[in-house]
Chains A and B, each alone.
Chain A
Amino acid sequence: MSSKTSLRAVIAVPYAWLAVFFLLPFALVLAIALGTNDPDSVPPVALGFSLENFARLFTDKLYVAAWLSSLRIAAVSTLGCLLLGYPMAYAIARATPARRPLLLMLVVLPFWTSFLIRVYAWIGLLSENGMLNQFLRWSGLSDHPGTILGTEWAVHLGIIYAYLPFMVLPLYATLEKLDVSLLEAASDLGAKPIAAFLTVTLPLSLPGIVAGCLLVFIPAVGEFVIPDLLGGTRTLMIGKVLWDEFFTNSDWPLASAVAICLLVLLVGPIALFQRQQAKSLERAE
């Protein structure tokens, strides 16, 4: 085999796989989203060309509320992740080089355990008679503590908890490369530590902030497991709407329309993430 043909094969095989199993399905989702629900046929879809499903998603109050609360919950949780993750990444990047691998491993380890089980761990903590409330009663901090499980607070906690490694890693990667002499220069020139942080460290770590926030925000908007297990029935999120329309109501066209809208909504952030990724690899070369 000539090297040119074999290189072509190396390109073609993953390309074809992704085209068939990743790209083509989106065309099918769009086709189904334009159809209507037909409970009598298998699968329960009548093909056609109607924008009714999309119209419902943007006029029905329930769906509009689900879109808005998904965006709000994802944004607030991303901010929470950043506020917790930035100082963590900073402290790891400033630790002695010998200690860094261990500190990083401790951040990554939870990511390697089951996502489902990590979310589950919060049920026992946050339920009405859960460990948090037991602690509050035992310590006398509160006699009648409220229940966090089943509220939006629990969803925020769950997202911050589950996605924290995705925030810390890209932040660490930029903070680690940061040239300390720049900070020394700033302080030699009379900048206070806070001023040096705001004018030197923060702007230079911006690529890490953007990458980390996108890695948390994009999947959080479409999150299903966390609102389902921790958010109770009152928390509306669009990923849960898609799931319920599909599995509970067997309304495939409406679920497909939700998927298309979610994709359109996230295409900007995803493209931004890809550009960042490409840029950081170029810099590495």
Chain B
Amino acid sequence: MSKPRFALAVLAFGYAFLYLPIVLVMGYSFNESKLVTVWSGFSFKWWRALLENEDMLAAAWLSLQIALTSATLAALLGLAAGYVLARVPSFFGRTLFGSLVIAPMVMPEVVMGISMLLLFVGANQLIDGPPFGFLTIAIAHTTFSLAFVAIVVQARLADFDRSLEEAAMDLGATPWVTFLTVTLPLIAPAIGSGWLLAFTLSLDDLIMTQFVAGAQSQTLPMLVYSKVRLGVDPQINVLATIVVCVAATALIISGRLTRRR
């Protein structure tokens, strides 16, 4: 077969397209000038400003707590959902269940945002809770990220050697013991990378959060959004640099987890 030169050229162009904007933003985080489009010298000024920005730090802390909570919940629920989809061929309402698991992946976020807000408003009128803020945001994030965990777990279980489970059962292990000692360790990497995905999605979510956050809470994306609406901001460039570095690290860890089969 001839070398697909055209495809290679497009590949190079595609990577340039993907990375050039990010690299420029990262570079300009070291720019002395407040004018983001003029380079006036190297400086850590905006790094210092960001690290002393208490609103930003408080928002980041809240986002981190929400992400840890919702990713853990999503991992547990997604594990159950993925297991059911892969291993339980028929039960009452299985088709609906499959749709409910996958639909949040592609559902426009504005639709999910308004629907969850209306649910919480209704719940507050009926049972006086949950309070808007941490809890409502965490529930919203769990709901939409559990789909991603379920897909990863389901895919892992689909190409899984079932003879190991059968061997454990033949040797007298109960289904629970088999699950805990054989299945779970083998699919743990998939759960781990699903957790990381859920964590990242939560940390990054703006739209659903804006709908369900209530008046008191502000997550990091909400704060970033309120700033970037006004145009380019050097402190956001610094934040972008940090986010890209953290994401690259997380991805490398996740890659290691899933490759170690």
* Residue of chain B at shortest CB distance from A149: B231
For chain A, which range describes its interface: under 10, 10 to 19, 20 to 34, or 35 or more residues?
A: 35 or more
Q: Do residues B159 and A284 form an inter-chain contact, with CB atoms below 8 A?
A: yes
Q: Is there a chain A Cβ closer than 8 Å to B127's Cβ?
A: no
- Number of A-B pairs, beta carbon distance below 8 Å: 257
Chain B residues 92 to 109 lying within 8 A of chain A, measured CB to CB, are: 93, 97-104, 106-109
**Contact size range, B:** 35 or more
Whether the Cβ atoms of A164 and B111 lie closer than 8 Å is no
Q: Given A29-B114, A43-B121, A101-B255, is A164 in contact with B18 using a C-beta cutoff of 8 Å?
A: yes
For A17, give its contact among B15, B114, B143, B206 (CB under 8 Å).
B143
User: Would you call A15 and B93 a contact (CB within 8 A)?
Assistant: yes
Assuming the contacts A22-B100, A113-B247, A281-B158, asked whether A121 and B114 have C-beta atoms less than 8 A apart, the reply is no
Q: Contacts of A112 on B, CB cut-off 8 Å? A: 200, 247-248, 250-251
Chain A contact residues: helix, strand, loop or mixed: helix
B interface list, Cβ under 8 A from A = 1-2, 4, 6-8, 10-11, 13-15, 17-19, 21-22, 24-25, 28, 36-37, 77-78, 80-81, 83-84, 88, 91, 93, 97-104, 106-112, 114-116, 118-119, 121-122, 139-140, 142-143, 146, 150-151, 154-155, 158-159, 174-176, 200, 203-204, 206-207, 210-211, 221, 224-225, 228-229, 231-232, 236, 239-240, 243-244, 247-248, 250-251, 255, 259
Task: State the A residues within 8 Å of B (CB).
Answer: 1, 3, 6-7, 10-11, 13-15, 17-26, 28-29, 32, 43, 84-85, 87-88, 90-92, 94, 101, 103, 105-110, 112-118, 120-125, 127, 129-131, 134, 161, 164, 180, 183-184, 187, 193, 214-215, 218-219, 221-225, 228-229, 239, 242-243, 246-247, 252, 255-256, 259, 262-263, 266, 269-271, 273-274, 277-278, 281, 284-285
